[in-house]
Structure 1
Amino acid sequence: MTDTATRGDSLTVDGLRTYLHCPRRYEFAHRHDLEMGDDDTVGDRIALLRAAICDALRHGETDPDALEQVARDRLATRWDEYDERFHSVAQRRHERRVLEATLAAYVTKVGTDHAAGISQLDATAARDELIGPELALSRTVSLPELNAAGDADAVTIDATVDYVSGDGSSLVGVRFVPTLASLGWLRYRSDWEGDVADRFTDHFDDESDVFEPGPVGALLETAVVLDGLRGLRDRLGLEDRTCRYLQIPLADRSGLTVNWVRDAVETGLEVADLTEVYVDHHTFGMTHEHRNETVDSRLAAVVADLCSGSFDPADSWDRIAEHACPDCEYTVCCQDHIATEVSFDG
């Protein structure tokens, strides 16, 4: 998807994340729409499992065995039509079992509770309003500059979740991701106050050595998703509920075990609740909403910088060159990188 990054238009959270890594990378990927890299086979497999889970949730089962069976049936149908080239029949069978093991772990960890939470919302919303995959949410950010008419310019930032469930007094948005690796140290923190706030602020300080585009991008994404959930909540007449945002990895093999003797595959599942680490409790105490004024104001500033149309890394280049360039596929056409690699005597 191409982000045009102009006022009155829309951006995506993926685009923001790219921009945080490097403005020049954003320019190549989202302005010029240059596609790099090989086919995303991991993403394709996740898409199969994501769709199967959403189909099962839409089916309405809340019993764990029934929920898992519906999802397995949907996965089997989609897998039979999946045309990835494996090196052997054994590998294809193994990869399917990995997906089935991940599905079982999901149902055990949160799937049954989330299915019940969706059922609790049946009286207020149709299932298609709550279940995707890739259910669209958005946040509109007002920019500080004024346009010619004297009205504040605004940009819409688009995000997606895969489904929305009820959980007591909360409305919970869930997004399936490949892994939680991009969260970095954020996945091991439970409060905004302290080093999370410090590292977030330091990332934008040109005098600092801190470069944390992954965790910072996750916090900006959380700000967008929670605002989108609040809009959905209000449309459903559930104004008394707070909103939360979870990420669930479907391709994390760190907990995968294979018993070749029993021909069995098992795995665990880690769920990341980004709400607590995002919420500024001072702001929460003032508004009774899951908000963070520091993150929200920085989100507006990043969007304003992006919309300015300048993609010069400027004072951040040293940190970008050290951390982002080594794994960047656009270095072959990046004038900033080439200038550091090529020099002439005289």
Structure 2
Amino acid sequence: MSNDSLSPSRLATYATCPREYDYSYVQDVNAPDRTELYLNQGTIYHETIEDVCEATERDDDPVTIHDRALDIFDAKWAEHSTADDYESKAHQEYQYAENRAGIDTFFDPNGGDGIDHARNSITTECWVECERNGRALHGKADNVLRTEDGLHVIDYKRKTRGMLSSGTADYLGDHLDGNGHEPKRVRNAFQTATYIEGVKNEPFYEDGMEVRFSFYGLLNDTSFESTPSGYQVSARGWSRETTEIYDEHYDTTWALIRDAHDGITNESYDPAPFDIITEEACPDCEYREMCVDRLATEVRR
């Protein structure tokens, strides 16, 4: 594997703005006001699912799996959640209830998707690598499931809203041509390519196996209901598969990978297309107050 192997996250940062990549990865500038709240919560539900899958046998009772999941979640919350991440004790308690509801529903013994995920998991936190035309990629797959026809790679997220879908896949071509700015969906395409191709290099892959990839949002839909004793939080998650999108937009996806990969390895960090990046990326960029490109634009105005 090449020494220039890159992750979907790095490629996506470059696709958002080459200068942001420069500040974040090359110069390693610490961005201001960076919150750890959702990072810690992500660690909690990822480690919960990982530990449940590793502890589960194919014939485990659904109730056993569900109860195991809630016990592990509580232990992970105690380990990773800190009061400093939250505005108040009430805020932390609500976030605990919301995230626990997501795990509760995911591992619902009456048909929760997590039961099948745990029973059919063959590996979690699987490091994968692949290479196409000298451009190497790597990543860590949250879960790999055995299916009747092959393998299904899962990437767990908080939510899947705004992610790549069949209705937005054509936007990938707009980003490639410089007529649009879709870094989040481009990142989803990078992830899909990395995991579908990467898992094919693993020892458990067999020639001819079908390989699928899905994002799974654990907290796609949450609701809050007042009760006489306080409140009740419910949550529902669902999957967004991008396998067919990858097949249909294969050439576009790898052209996007080529452009970002070559830009990084050639150390080309000038924002382009400048006007689109200035309009779409600058307002939300953590480095905007120090960015020489943005400041130069302000001076010219």
The residue that corresponds to 1:29 in the other structure is: 24
The residue that corresponds to 2:286 in the other structure is: 329
1:88, 1:313 → 2: CA distance?
40
Determine if contact 1:8/1:155 at 8 Å carries over to the other structure: no
Determine if contact 2:127/2:141 at 8 Å carries over to the other structure: yes
Q: 1:322 to 1:91 in 2, by over 3 A?
A: closer
Determine if contact 2:149/2:209 at 8 Å carries over to the other structure: yes
Q: 1:217 to 1:79 in 2, by over 3 A?
A: closer
The residue that corresponds to 1:39 in the other structure is: 35
**CA distances 1:82-134 after superposition (whole Å, capped 9, x unpaired):** 3233455444333222122100221244111122222xx5xxxxxxxx123xx
Q: Aligned with 2:114: secondary structure? A: helix
1:87, 1:324 → 2: CA distance?
28
The residue that corresponds to 2:12 in the other structure is: 17
Alignment of 1:138 onto 2:129: yes
The residue that corresponds to 2:77 in the other structure is: 79
TM alignment of 1:150-165, pairs within 5 A: 154-165=134-145
Of the candidates 194, 203, 227, which is equivalent to residue 197 of structure 2? Answer: 227
Listed as ranges, the gaps of 5+ residues in structure 1 are 1-6, 122-129, 143-153, 281-290
Determine if contact 2:222/2:233 at 8 Å carries over to the other structure: no
Q: Aligned with 1:239: secondary structure? A: coil
Determine if contact 2:12/2:187 at 8 Å carries over to the other structure: yes
For these two proteins, the number of residue pairs brought into alignment is: 291
TM alignment of 1:62-211, pairs within 5 A: 62-81=60-79, 82-85=81-84, 86=86, 88-108=88-108, 109-118=112-121, 121=122, 130-132=123-125, 135-142=126-133, 154-183=134-163, 186-187=164-165, 189=166, 196-197=169-170, 199-206=171-178, 208=179, 210-211=180-181
The residue that corresponds to 2:183 in the other structure is: 213
Q: In the TM superposition, what is the alpha-carbon distance from 1:211 to its structure 2 partner? A: 1.6
Question: 2:289 corresponds to which letter in structure 1?
Answer: V
TM, length-normalised to structure 1: 0.77
Alignment of 1:52 onto 2:48: yes
TM alignment of 1:229-244, pairs within 5 A: 229-232=199-202, 235-244=203-212
2:254, 2:225 → 1: CA distance?
44
2:137, 2:274 → 1: CA distance?
26
1:49, 1:159 → 2: CA distance?
19
Q: Aligned with 1:139: secondary structure? A: strand
Please say which structure displays the higher CA radius of gyration: 1
Q: In the TM superposition, what is the alpha-carbon distance from 1:24 to its structure 2 partner? A: 0.5
Q: Aligned with 1:218: secondary structure? A: helix
2:139, 2:193 → 1: CA distance?
10
RMSD: 2.3
Of the candidates 228, 240, 244, which is equivalent to residue 276 of structure 1? Answer: 244
1:310, 1:322 → 2: CA distance?
20
Q: In the TM superposition, what is the alpha-carbon distance from 1:21 to its structure 2 partner? A: 0.8
1:47, 1:9 → 2: CA distance?
27
Alignment of 1:310 onto 2:290: no
The residue that corresponds to 1:249 in the other structure is: 217
Q: In the TM superposition, what is the alpha-carbon distance from 1:53 to its structure 2 partner? A: 1.6
The residue that corresponds to 2:254 in the other structure is: 296
Q: In the TM superposition, what is the alpha-carbon distance from 1:257 to its structure 2 partner? A: 2.8
Deviation larger for 236-245 or 258-267: 258-267
TM, length-normalised to structure 2: 0.88
1:266, 1:170 → 2: CA distance?
33
2:155, 2:101 → 1: CA distance?
19
Q: Aligned with 1:180: secondary structure? A: coil
